[in-house]
Chains A and B, each alone.
Chain A
Amino acid sequence: DVKVTQSSRYLVKRTGEKVFLECVQDMDHENMFWYRQDPGLGLRLIYFSYDVKMKEKGDIPEGYSVSREKKERFSLILESASTNQTSMYLCASSFRIGQPNQPQHFGDGTRLSIL
């Protein structure tokens, strides 16, 4: 089974802090994604990566950056946390673009609160 592991289930930080959310997958997937989930809005794509050191902006990248130094690890960075970034953050991974019949596999999520 695919395992996508997010480093924290719950996290509380203060406004202005730099926050790191970590995600590791064990299936040698090329693609990795970061989403945030808010009630009534579904999931929205923040950033994604198709390969090591590659990154692409998703639909809501403002206030975030990412890092992918190793294939299995994808980090989401909140440069200066703000209260409107309080949310559930979900990491996902999948095989390369040429395999659309394979769904994205999700981690358990990190519930982040910014005070």
Chain B
Amino acid sequence: ELKVEQNPLFLSMQEGKNYTIYCNYSTTSDRLYWYRQDPGKSLESLFVLLSNGAVKQEGRLMASLDTKARLSTLHITAAVHDLSATYFCAVDKGAQKLVFGQGTRLTINP
């Protein structure tokens, strides 16, 4: 059974700092997705990672995938308040059936 674990689950950081959210999963997959959710809102797609070594960047966010280590990271550079949200990783266990992590609630303080 595929299990997806995010770390940390809660993260409070100051503007301007860098930090990384980790997503570990238990069985082989080469398709991983990152989503963002604002309070009371739907999930917004951030990145689609489809192969080992894939790296995607958008603004202050960068995501990477290491399928051998079964690990994806979401790196935040020079955080700003607008990035406060809950971030989810989701692993495809086949045919687009996604297993989600618990979510990381990120709060960025001025």
> Which residues in A have some Cβ–Cβ distance to B below 8 Å?
4, 31, 33, 35, 40-45, 48, 50, 58-59, 90, 92, 94, 97, 100-109
Contacts and interface: CB of A to CB of B under 8 A. Distances in A.
A107 B42 contact: yes
Interface in B28-83: 31, 33, 35, 41-45, 48, 50
Interface of B: 4, 9, 31, 33, 35, 41-45, 48, 50, 88, 90, 92, 95-103
Contacts of A103: 33, 35, 45, 48
B101 A42 contact: yes
A31 B96 contact: yes
A108 B100 CA distance: 17
Of B43, B44, B95, B97, the most chain A CB neighbours within 10 A belong to B43
B7 to A, nearest CB: 13
A29 to B, nearest CB: 11
